[in-house]
């Protein structure tokens, strides 16, 4: 077999990991011919002759077999990937935002050009979840896919509960070690996990769901009182991405969730990811692996490059489900909603309430609310309101349709809430 010649875009954390894995692989015949970078003045350990700032030098080079895109700019990545496909080159990418927001178009472009886009490294790094769904579960109906899809937030939450620290201290530790960016927004607000869930919805259920349609709540609103509540009840918090098929609908979201000691996801620590699949025939399977880091992601990218050497493509075997399965957020979930000021929350948003605690410095309500309600700005981006899903409540309520009529118990509880609002003023 002739050695594969690779044109690489980006030489950051993952790009360097790919270079190292290629040069230490014992049975891979390939080499990086040219690397396109943004800053030519940055000091690098490789020869300057290997680098270029002209993307066309790589995209138009007929001797290059595969384009590998590993930059953090989703718009620029989309231009690189689509241009490469139109130029007759297959592509490997790890840009989950770009893939998630453009997957339907990328599938169509692959059909038109006859070339392939592989992106195993975009979802949970070292866990080969996409190819597992495509091959092993290609013809088996999937009932549920859930897990820890973001290593940065899992590291932060592990530190919080193993070292009895707070969110700010754990985040600072994660940033110091390189597990979290200086601007951690994509990780801690759940966007990164949402992009990955959007991609997996296509491979698990055969439906294309743009990220904008999926609700994502993060861990950045966690307060000391919330952590105290969890510890008192022998719970921990994990950021969980979940999609469950019930009848002809798939319900999906990303949100922090309380977990008990017997939940296998609670055992997944630090920067590790976990994906749990439940199939119609095989029941539940759990995959665990490092979800971040230069070498784990570089290894996933190398695996995709190797797969292209024998003309592998995603077949999107469940695509026929597009006409029969729909994505929905019209379902109840049970949440713990905490707040400092009673004005923060509107009890009319709840369809039932199971527990309440009101005080002048910290309050919380546990009740059922529609997923669609959580998309409202007052829930989504209110720093004074923290939402954590209740583990048993999710299992009991998911798939139950929302109703508009409030139950009598909510009206009664609202009277006490309104009285506290008046007193606090």
Looking at the chain, the domain(s) classified CATH 3.30.360.10 span 139-291
The Cα 274–Cα 126 span in angstroms is: 10
pLDDT at position 407, please?
Answer: 45
pLDDT at position 410, please?
Answer: 53
b/e burial code for range 342-361 (CB count within 10 A of at least 16 → b)? bebbebebbbbbeeeebeee
pLDDT at position 421, please?
Answer: 58
Looking at the annotation, which residues are catalytic?
Answer: 196
Cβ-based burial of 402 (10 A; exposed 0-12, middle 13-18, buried ≥19): middle
| Cβ count within 10 A of residue 72 | 16
The Cα 215–Cα 413 span in angstroms is: 27
pLDDT at position 406, please?
Answer: 42
Phi, psi of 394 (to 5 degrees): -65, -45
pLDDT at position 425, please?
Answer: 55
pLDDT for 223-254, tens place per residue? 999 999 999 999 999 999 999 999 999 999 99
pLDDT at position 409, please?
Answer: 44
| Cβ count within 10 A of residue 235 | 22
b/e burial code for range 167-183 (CB count within 10 A of at least 16 → b)? beebbebbbeeebbeee
pLDDT for 70-92, tens place per residue? 999 999 999 999 999 999 999 99
In the chain, which stretches have pLDDT less than 70? 1-2, 404-425
pTM of the model: 0.93
pLDDT at position 423, please?
Answer: 52
SS3 197: helix
The Cα 175–Cα 29 span in angstroms is: 36
Hey, what CATH topology would domain 139-291 get? Dihydrodipicolinate Reductase; domain 2 (3.30.360)
């Amino acid at each position: 077999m002739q050695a594969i010649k690779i044109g690489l875009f980006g030489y950051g954390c993952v790009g360097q990991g790919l270079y190292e894995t290629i040069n230490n692989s014992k049975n891979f015949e390939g080499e990086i011919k040219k690397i396109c970078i943004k800053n030519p003045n940055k000091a690098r350990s490789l020869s300057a002759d290997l680098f270029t700032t002209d993307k066309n030098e790589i995209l138009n080079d007929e001797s290059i077999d595969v384009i590998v895109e590993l930059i953090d700019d989703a718009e620029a990545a989309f231009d690189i990937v689509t241009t490469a496909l139109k130029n007759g080159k297959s592509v490997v990418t790890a840009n989950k935002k770009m893939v998630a927001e453009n997957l339907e178009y990328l599938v169509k472009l692959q059909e038109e050009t006859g070339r392939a886009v592989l992106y195993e490294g975009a979802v949970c790094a070292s866990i080969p979840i996409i190819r597992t769904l495509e091959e092993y579960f290609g013809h088996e109906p999937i009932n549920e896919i859930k897990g820890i899809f973001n290593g940065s937030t899992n590291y932060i939450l592990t530190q919080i509960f193993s070292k009895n620290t707070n969110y700010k201290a754990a985040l600072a530790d994660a940033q110091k070690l390189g597990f979290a960016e200086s601007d951690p927004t994509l990780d801690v607000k759940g966007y990164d996990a949402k992009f990955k869930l959007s991609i997996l919805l296509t491979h698990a259920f055969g439906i294309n769901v743009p990220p904008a349609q999926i609700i994502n709540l993060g861990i950045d609103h966690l307060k000391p009182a919330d952590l105290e509540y969890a510890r008192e009840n022998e719970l921990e918090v994990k950021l969980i991405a979940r999609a469950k098929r019930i009848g002809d609908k798939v319900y999906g979201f990303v949100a922090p969730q309380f977990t008990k000691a017997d939940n296998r996801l609670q055992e997944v620590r630090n920067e590790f990811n976990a994906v749990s699949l439940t199939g119609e025939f095989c029941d539940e399977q759990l995959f665990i692996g490092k979800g971040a880091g230069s070498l784990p992601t570089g290894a996933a990218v190398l695996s995709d490059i190797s797969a292209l050497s024998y003309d592998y493509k995603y077949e999107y075997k469940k695509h026929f489900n597009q006409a029969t399965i729909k994505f929905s957020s019209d379902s109840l979930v049970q949440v713990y909603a905490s707040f400092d000021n009673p004005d923060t929350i509107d009890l009319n948003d709840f369809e039932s309430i199971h527990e309440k605690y009101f005080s002048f410095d910290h309050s919380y309500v546990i009740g059922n609310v529609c997923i669609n309600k959580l998309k409202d700005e007052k829930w989504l981006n209110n720093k004074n309101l923290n939402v954590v899903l209740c583990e048993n409540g999710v299992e009991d309520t998911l798939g139950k349709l929302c109703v508009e009529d409030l139950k009598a118990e909510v009206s009664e509880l609202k009277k006490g809430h309104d009285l506290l609002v008046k007193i606090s003023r």
